[in-house]
Amino acid sequence: MKKVVSLALALVMMLGLCACGGGSAAPEEEDHSDAIRLAVQSEAAVECMFSYANVKNVLASVTNTDDNGDGTYEVNGYITVIDDYGDHYKAKFDATVSVDEDGDADCDSFSMETPTRE
């Protein structure tokens, strides 16, 4: 009886492994969200450092990324600027980011509202 149960369990496990072992038919789409966020954050940091005094840190929060299908993305979200005194300022941004075949992202255009204190 034990042999029959063991054999049945082994058969079920083998079938489960075979069912999970199939490859996907469609290629997986690459996720460029981190590269896009860093490109936007870098562009915002440069703009804030030249436009505002006492900027300590700039953070980007991407809320929407639309793929244009040609390696460029329309990106929207918020920029948080932290000054030397610990005050936080927030602004909306719109950007166009291009991603090359290596996954490196660069901002083609970037516009940001004037940051307001939170």
In the chain, the domains with their CATH numbers are 33-117 (3.10.450.50)
Mean pLDDT, the chain, whole residue set: 83
pLDDT in tens, 95-104: 999 999 888 9
Q: Is the pLDDT of residue 71 over 80?
A: yes
What's the pLDDT tens digit per position in 106-115?
A: 999 999 999 9
Assess contact for 63 and 80: CB atoms under 8 A. no
Q: Please give the pLDDT value at position 15.
A: 57
List, in order, residues 6 or more apart from 84 with CB less than 8 Å away: 54, 55, 56
Tokens encoding 60? 């980007």
